[in-house]
Amino acid sequence: MSEQRIKGIGVSEGIRFGKAFIYGAPAVEAAYPQRIEPEQVEAELERLEQAKRQSAAELKTIIAKSEAKLGKDKTAIIEGQLSFLDDPAFYGDIRSQIKRKQASAEQAVQTVLAKLSALFEKMNNAYVKERIHDVKDVADRLMSHLQQVFYPDLASITEPIILVAEDLTPSVTVQLDRSIVLGFVTRVGGETTHTAILSRSLGIPAVVGTGAAFEQLGHGDELILDGTEGVIVLNADAATRSSYEARQQEEQSAAGKLAKYRLLPAQTEDGKLIELAVNVGMPEEMREGLVDEADGVGLFRTEFLFMNADRFPDEEKQFAVYKQLAEAWQGKPIVIRTLDIGGDKELSYWDLPHEDNPFLGNRAIRLCLNERELFRTQLRAIVRASAFGTVKIMFPMISSMQEFRAAKQLTLEVMDELKGQGITFDEKLEIGIMAEVPSVIQLADRFAKEVDFFSIGTNDLVQYTLAVDRMNEKVAHLYDYFHPAVIRSIHSLIQAAHKEGKWVGMCGKMAGDPLAAPLLLGMELDEWSMDAASVTKQKFTLSRLNVQDSAKLLGDVLDLDTAEEIRQQVKAFHAARFSE
């Protein structure tokens, strides 16, 4: 077979060689007999019984493996699936379909699944409704054994693989043993999706958004994944293979050169110390040693705590997580962002009505202000955790002063309530906002009088400023933080904040981009928060920059008209300092 190259978007750097593992619904043949002859009933029941035994054996292996790794909650789901295999309402009904109706085993499984789906669909309780997915998983597993086709089981992977999937959701990635995933390939997605964030923070190379070309990848195919250029090579010939091997070696030696910066403070050539923080969300992102590499957490995404669950985490559960985070960082500042869902982030157990424009809709702070009890519970948990470290609260997607005042008012109420209950917390806890909606930039001077800090979320700020849907592959090329409107927005926000003595951070992808570093240094950005994987590289970048040259570059760039011109100018500046 001849060599094939599949192009996508490289969202996490690095080159890897490995076998493809295709994750998706099992390929079950549509064609199976619906009915059997009466004399076949016994044999059919035995065929079903065998599929059940195989399914049960697999589930037991998964339970044994995952108990230690995933904890009690996740194992409960798999144990539930195992119990369905003996459940009169599931397995009992399937048997009776074969016995009474002479249905084939496959037909019987499908009939019972359809009946249960209809029953669960009517339930009011979202948690119960959600359990139908577990029933479907078990039905799929039985079907795969009846049809003797491969069932793609994430928990069963034991050899290193390149994971290929339509898309990766948090509920899928939580099942994954990350130590054996060499890389990710997904059909959908852009730079700022869950897969991109996850892969960057774990330092696992990834290519997303391959589109239809994705179909050419088969289970077990030998792939070369190039997360730096966004390419997947299938059936690589010897020449290609050796050129990639050489590049992989280059990358490794470059990483070796950076290693000495890992534990050094972030400091410019002329001695200015920069506060370099990390963005974290999933517990897996808090790898060992991270506390010694960074100056704090500039963004703690609380939504993963909600997404990796099958119901709303209560106050105690949230408190335990925030407290552990605060203690782990030993007094270094941590900025906890309140729940940011809606838009592209949904909760499996909460049926939010469909919206035509979710990014302009009921999301983040808007949703929290509409759901006061949910918000209050989270605020109580965060404020309580402030007794154990330096905790700051940040509200996402603020677009008006009223929203900020309402959210702050609720926080103050929660503080009063806690005080009344004799619960201690940090009374000087800072309250700030994400700057990601253009109206905040316009009103920066007003906001600066009331907030304690700003943190610029470049991902959304770019999308809202330039009116570009970052998920739409057709217009994704228009999405660029070097656009002069974005550069000016960031610059004017920092100036307005500094005038009132307030600090400004940045927690979007731009903060970790070496090309953007001189501009951000020139603007005197106070806190830079990025994926854990970018920290060492950005320390190295800063060590080669100085304030004076960076301020001059910024001045020049502010005179330019297009993103293209700005990129060129910044690249030339960069090349002059990082040529070797």
**Rule CB under 8 A: which residues touch another protein?**
76-77, 79-80, 83-84, 86-90, 92, 116, 119-120, 123-125, 127-128, 131, 135, 311
Please, what sign has the CA dihedral across residues 376, 379, 385, 387?
Answer: negative
3-state helix, strand, coil in the chain (%, to 5): 55, 15, 30
Residue 189 to residue 210: CA distance in whole angstroms = 8
**Lookup: tokens for 28:** 């079950």
Kind plus residue range of the DSSP H or E element containing 135: helix 132-146
Q: Under a CB-based contact definition with an 8 Å cutoff, are residues 375 and 368 in contact? A: yes
Please, what sign has the CA dihedral across residues 407, 299, 69, 179?
Answer: positive
Active site residue 133: no
Vertex 244 angle, CA 238 and 250, to 5° = 140
- Helix 315-328 vs helix 372-385: crossing angle, to nearest 10: 30
Q: How far is CA 36 from CA 48, 109, 466, 547, in A?
A: 13, 14, 62, 80
Hey, how many other C-beta atoms are within 10 angstroms of the C-beta on 535? Answer: 23
Nearer to another protein, 80 or 438 (CB): 80
Residue type at 247?
Answer: R
Half-sphere exposure of 532 (CA within 13 A, CB side): 22
Least distance (Å) from another protein to the CB of residue 578? 54
Q: Hey, is 149 helix, strand or coil?
A: coil
Half-sphere exposure of 10 (CA within 13 A, CB side): 16
Among the options 145, 483, 507, 574, which is catalytic?
Answer: 507
**Lookup: tokens for 97:** 């379909």
DSSP secondary structure, 260-278, as one string:
GGTTSPPB-TT--B-EEEE
Active site residue 368: no
Q: Under a CB-based contact definition with an 8 Å cutoff, are residues 327 and 319 in contact? A: no
Which residues fall in the annotated binding site for phosphoenolpyruvate? 301, 337, 459-460, 470
Q: Under a CB-based contact definition with an 8 Å cutoff, are residues 287 and 532 in contact? A: yes
Least distance (Å) from another protein to the CB of residue 92? 8
Q: Hey, is 22 helix, strand or coil?
A: strand
Close Cβ partners of 335 (under 8 Å, ≥ 6 residues apart): 277, 296, 297, 298, 299, 300, 392, 393, 394, 432, 455, 505, 507, 529
Among the options 145, 194, 483, 574, which is catalytic?
Answer: 194
Q: How far is CA 106 from CA 24, 36, 93, 112, in A?
A: 20, 11, 13, 10
Q: Under a CB-based contact definition with an 8 Å cutoff, are residues 85 and 138 in contact? A: yes
**Lookup: tokens for 142:** 């039985």
Least distance (Å) from another protein to the CB of residue 87? 5
Residue 520 to residue 269: CA distance in whole angstroms = 15
Which residues fall in the annotated binding site for Mg(2+)? 436, 460
Least distance (Å) from another protein to the CB of residue 303? 21
Which residues fall in the annotated binding site? 301, 337, 436, 459-460, 470
Tokens 């005080």 -> residue = 419
Close Cβ partners of 93 (under 8 Å, ≥ 6 residues apart): 112, 115
Kindly report the backbone phi and psi dihedral angles of residue 232, in degrees, each rounded to the nearest multiple of 5, phi listed first.
-120, 130
Half-sphere exposure of 346 (CA within 13 A, CB side): 11
Provide the pairing of β-strand 15-23 with 161-165: parallel
**Residues designated as active site:** 194, 507
